């Protein structure tokens, strides 16, 4: 399995819109699901009350090649959605890509 982790700091007042777009059946998951090899997305929220709303997404693919194929086939749609949703966050950071050892 190939996993991509992202961290997002969400603007106050934009949390509901962010969650709607980034949850397991949100806009990103719907776009990813058009490609073979996509296994799902998980959205985690921070539990601290003293900080800005922070979320982690976990996108799972069967292989890195499946994600590469997705990028080749849906690159324009990916960029358009990213642009459409950029006002929801203060910061985003790719934490990395990982593979399962199972």
Domain ranges in the chain are 2-59+70-92
Residue-wise pLDDT tens digits, 4-49: 999 999 999 999 999 999 999 999 999 999 999 999 999 999 987 6
The pLDDT score that the predictor gives to residue 29 is 98
Architecture label for domain 2-59+70-92? 2-Layer Sandwich (3.30)
Asked if residue 50 has pLDDT above 70, the reply is: no
For residue 102, give the 3-state DSSP assignment: coil
Of the chain, the percentage scoring pLDDT greater than 70 comes to: 98
pTM comes to 0.92
* Cα angle 2-4-29, degrees, rounded to a multiple of 5: 95
Nearest to 86 by CA among 22, 3, 4: 22
- Helix, strand, coil percent values for the chain (each to nearest 5): 40, 35, 25
């Amino acid at each position: 399995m190939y996993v991509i982790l992202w961290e997002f700091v969400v603007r106050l007042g934009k949390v509901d819109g962010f969650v709607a777009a980034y949850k397991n059946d949100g806009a990103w998951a719907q776009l990813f699901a058009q490609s073979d090899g996509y296994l799902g997305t998980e959205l985690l929220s921070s539990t601290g009350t003293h900080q800005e709303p922070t979320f982690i997404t976990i996108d799972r693919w069967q292989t890195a090649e499946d994600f590469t194929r997705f990028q080749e086939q849906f690159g324009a749609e990916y960029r358009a959605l990213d642009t459409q949703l950029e006002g929801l966050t203060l910061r985003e950071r790719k934490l990395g890509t990982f593979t399962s050892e199972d």
